[in-house]
Amino acid sequence: MRILMIGDIVGRPGRRAVRQFLPGLFHDYQIDLVIANGENAAGGLGLTPETAKELLDCGIDVITTGNHVWAKKEIIPCLDSGLPILRPLNFPPDAPGRGYLEVKDVTVVNLIGRVFVGQFDCPFRAMDSLLSCMSDVSRTIVVDFHAEATSEKVALGRYLDGRVSAIFGTHTHIGTIDAQILPKGTAYVTDVGMTGPINSVIGVDTQLAIQNFLTSMPHRFAISEGPAALDAVLVEADNATGKATIIRRIKQSE
């Protein structure tokens, strides 16, 4: 089973990069399942039904989200509609939507961190609870851990090593160099990176971002224009054991 995780898709440039590069990746790597974090796909903040459909039509099988999932209110009814869109599992239980689903014999889980992000239920205990009732489903389990602190991400990776097939960190938009297979067989990377404008500050227009730091005054952020790149991580997992056998970074640029 070859699984591709696409890093946070930012605005129109990110969606364009998906359209442009994903067909070639299917051809080159014989990908079986595509997951993408889409919580910034609509104008850089949130997800709409239209942008979700655009991404799904490109060949993405599951869209994960994070702390910006509620930014566009029109997406909320879609979360309970059967579309393959996830919100973090460790949101309060009465929140709309679901935190995991099974697609093509793979269980995809969405978690959110707490350090520097917000007051959510414990992601460690949320996974313990989920795994305790999953003995009769797929052995291949992958997690999008949408979190800020590298320590929290690394700790979850070590905590779940051997219990899930892969943990993909998202949220910071900066890809890390630590893609690895942990000792007990879990593929891990602290952050997949960003699919969006190259000449930007994590997707935002560079001058607007700099002005915000220089003045500490609020500025209306805009997504940068220009060439875009796609950041992704490919994992191959053994269907029989759920253990990862290969992990590699993929980057495509306009």
Is the Cα dihedral 54, 59, 62, 67 positive or negative? negative
Specify whether 68 is catalytic: yes
Give 3's DSSP letter.
E
Backbone Cα Rg of the chain: 17
What are the angstrom distances between the C-alpha of 30 and each of 107, 224, 234, 238? Answer: 19, 32, 11, 15
> Running DSSP on this structure, what letter comes out for residue 148?
S
Catalytic residue among 27, 68, 146, 219: 68
Long-range contacts of 88-97 (CB under 8 A, 24+ apart): 88/112, 88/120, 88/123, 88/146, 89/123, 89/126, 89/127, 89/130, 90/120, 90/121, 90/122, 90/123, 90/126, 91/120, 91/121, 92/121, 97/69
Please give the positions annotated as active site: 68
